[in-house]
Amino acid sequence: MPEIKKPGKKYKAKRPTRDEFELEELGERLVEAKQEDSTVVLTIWDEPEPVRGRIVKLDARTRLVHVQTLEKLVKLPFLDIMRVDNPRD
């Protein structure tokens, strides 16, 4: 009787780990952008396109960053944000 192989498990790629210093710096950039009401470009883990918009809320309880884009309000998990850029840079 031929051997039947089970389908392999597909694992989702793991988010890169960052140290406390990197996370603190990222948080400070998000707070600064919210206070200045400036537009930011956020690089999101496992997303092909960056998110561009204004930060309208930083929710410490749910750890979500609310970003108002031109089209809609997007809620992003803090740990999924890999980079914060100022479009003027």
pLDDT by residue for the chain (89 residues), tens digit each?
A: 566 666 666 666 788 888 999 999 999 999 999 999 999 999 999 899 999 999 999 999 999 999 999 999 999 999 999 999 988 64
Q: How far is CA 80 from CA 18, 27, 88, in A?
A: 11, 12, 23
Residue 11 in any domain: the answer is: no
Strand partners, 24: none
**Which structural domain, as residue segments, surrounds residue 55?**
20-85
Domain annotation covers residue 81: yes
Within-domain flag for 8: no
Cβ contacts of 70-79, under 8 Å, gap ≥ 24: 76/42, 76/44, 76/51, 78/26, 78/27, 78/30, 79/15, 79/45
Residue 24 lies in a domain: yes
Question: 65, 81 in Cβ contact below 8 A?
Answer: yes
User: Is residue 38 assigned to a domain?
Assistant: yes
Is there a domain that residue 28 lies in?
A: yes
7 is a domain residue: no
Record the pTM.
0.80
CATH number for the domain harbouring residue 37: 2.30.30.100
Q: How many domains does the chain have?
A: 1
